[in-house]
Structure 1
Amino acid sequence: MRVRWQPKTLIFAFSGLWLFLSGATSLWGATASILRLNENQILYLFSTSAQVLAGVYGLTLTGFVFFRNELSREEFEDETLADAVESLKRRYFTMLVFITVFVLLTFALSNLAMAKESGGHSLITTLLINSGQSAFGTSLLAISYFIFDVISPKRIELASRALQEKVDPTHGAPTKGNLEDFLRNYNQIEMLLSEYGSSSSITSSLYSSRPVRRTSNVRLAEILMRNERISQLLFSKLRDLITLRNSIIHGADPVVSSEIVAASQQVLSELGVALRVEP
């Protein structure tokens, strides 16, 4: 199974790579330099690097805007994709913020290197040149990783598995729960939520000016909580069960822990009591 690094891990990895490259190349340049660039060469090198990086970053940002709209469309058409799509949006946003900061850092180092070169070659100039070019290379690597991560054909499946690990971290334990019992409990929970939505005319009131679209289970549970029909704790449990079930149907392992099965039975009972319905 493909390893999917978390954004924090990627940030530390790319930052560490830049620091390593900057330190190694600066030390090499200060002690045993292979190339010595004059002022015109340095100006040309950094101005060209900045233009290339700006173009690549701009195209990446533009393409991502269209891709994000496509994700939103998929989420609108299939409510069970909501959790996976939202997790992908958070992931991509975090990575894009990091790339933006790193690109700006590269531009700053490029300007400093060109400005410092006019004052003559020194150790600081060597450090700026090597750090700037290391930042340029690291930025391109980060952008490349981001692009391939965004266009991955298994992005929904990988996001679903990550959500499953978060909601049910013990699903891989030797003692597993019965998936049929979990799905049976969930279907009854969904039926209770649906009946509440129908009896309360929530769907028709929310979508009176356009074609009727079923209110999502998460939204119905949130309405129950805000109307104090269920507690915040029960809402959180409902949210986790909905997330897990949606993750399973979109590529997560079709395995649940015994704790989740017991939790689904408990949630079903508590929801039935809250809505005054015998489960």
Structure 2
Amino acid sequence: MSGATTSWGITHSILDLDENQILYLFSTSAQVLAGVYGLTLTGFVFFRNELSREEFEDETLADAVESLKRRYFTLLLFITALVLVTFALSNLAISSESSGQTYINILLINCGQAAYATSLLTIAYFIFEVISPKRIEVASRALQDRVDPTHGSKTKGNLEEFLRNYNQIESLLVESGQSYGITSYSSPQAKAPRRTSNSRLAEVLARNERISKSLFLRLRELITLRNSIIHGADPVVSREIVTTSQDVLDELKSAIGYEP
């Protein structure tokens, strides 16, 4: 695209810029972009801390929040790379202005301004992604699609049966965790002891070889799915996941030696 516009600009230029205008244009663009990027980065740091606070106050948000953090971090890396490329093109455009190579100069001007506009648009997209009021709901639906990809099929599973199995699994995890003395913990911010998350309890059992790694992974998926349903995912499950929840419940009972 830049090559095509450069070829067109050599013979049919819309704007004719002198050396001073080009120097001012790219120096100003770089300064504006640096300021916008710095403000975006600062705002993201504060917002990430807010996400961590929400996660701490409600352990069922852990999977959705971690998913959002990974997504935002990836977007921020992309924006950072794009901004650095824009700065490099701006410096090259300024440095090559007096070289007399018309085609190279026009190519750098076009590429530099295209990168500048793309950077601003990408930053704007990132900001709207971060402040979206439905970010937790969107993340929860994405997690549900990953854990239970067939939940949208015509043959639905019994949500009540799934939750009943999950509640029994949760009770077994809490009961098993008591033997390790980590069922609850206190924090300076909490007015009362806060129960350890189900994911953490399952991890403790796995690390102490009370359950197998495969069982731990299936427990994590069930925990993720249940939490995603709570926070905005479709309140439906597939027949396969209902069957899986029953199998996991039976295997967990066997692994910890549960006797009714």
- Normalising TM by the smaller chain, what interval? over 0.9
Conserved in 1, the CA contact under 8 Å of 2:151 and 2:237?
A: yes
**35, 42, 52: which is aligned to 1:62?**
42
Residue segments in structure 1 that go unaligned for 5+ positions in a row: 1-19
Deviation at 1:198, TM superposition (A): 2.1
Pairs within 5 Å for 1:66-105: 66-105=46-85
**113, 122, 137: which is aligned to 1:133?**
113
- Between the two proteins, the alignment pairs up a number of residues equal to 258
Conserved in 2, the CA contact under 8 Å of 1:113 and 1:125?
A: yes
**219, 225, 238: which is aligned to 1:238?**
219
More displaced, 233-242 or 33-42? 33-42
| Change in 2 beyond 3 A, CA 1:203/1:118 | same
Deviation at 1:34, TM superposition (A): 1.3
In structure 2, C-alpha distance between the alignment counterparts of 1:98 and 1:252, rounded to whole Å: 28
In structure 2, C-alpha distance between the alignment counterparts of 1:179 and 1:198, rounded to whole Å: 29
| 2:241 maps to 1:260 | yes
Deviation at 1:207, TM superposition (A): 5.1
1:153 alignment partner, SS class: coil
| 2:146 maps to 1:166 | yes
* Counterpart for residue 12 of structure 1: none
Task: List per-residue Cα deviations over 1:65-112 (Å, max 9, x = no partner).
Answer: 000000000000000000000000000000000000100000000000
* Counterpart for residue 205 of structure 2: 224
* Counterpart for residue 22 of structure 2: 42
TM-score with structure 1 length normalisation? Answer: 0.89
Task: List per-residue Cα deviations over 1:195-226 (Å, max 9, x = no partner).
Answer: 1122332236x659996321110000000000
Conserved in 1, the CA contact under 8 Å of 2:141 and 2:233?
A: yes
Q: Which amino acid aligns with 1:270?
A: E
In structure 1, C-alpha distance between the alignment counterparts of 2:121 and 2:234, rounded to whole Å: 31
Deviation at 1:135, TM superposition (A): 0.0
Pairs within 5 Å for 1:136-155: 136-155=116-135
* Counterpart for residue 253 of structure 2: 272
In structure 1, C-alpha distance between the alignment counterparts of 2:141 and 2:161, rounded to whole Å: 21
Conserved in 2, the CA contact under 8 Å of 1:112 and 1:128?
A: yes
Task: List per-residue Cα deviations over 1:125-165 (Å, max 9, x = no partner).
Answer: 11110000000000000000000000000000000000000
Residue segments in structure 2 that go unaligned for 5+ positions in a row: none
More displaced, 34-43 or 259-268? 34-43
| Change in 2 beyond 3 A, CA 1:208/1:38 | closer
Identity of aligned pairs, percent?
A: 75
TM-score with structure 2 length normalisation? Answer: 0.95
Conserved in 2, the CA contact under 8 Å of 1:171 and 1:257?
A: yes
* Counterpart for residue 97 of structure 2: 117
Pairs within 5 Å for 1:178-197: 178-197=158-177
Task: List per-residue Cα deviations over 1:166-202 (Å, max 9, x = no partner).
Answer: 0000000111100001000000000000111223322
Conserved in 1, the CA contact under 8 Å of 2:174 and 2:183?
A: no
| 2:194 maps to 1:213 | yes
> RMSD of the alignment, in Å?
1.6
Deviation at 1:278, TM superposition (A): 4.3
Deviation at 1:121, TM superposition (A): 4.3
2:203 alignment partner, SS class: helix
In structure 2, C-alpha distance between the alignment counterparts of 1:48 and 1:208, rounded to whole Å: 49
**224, 229, 252: which is aligned to 1:248?**
229
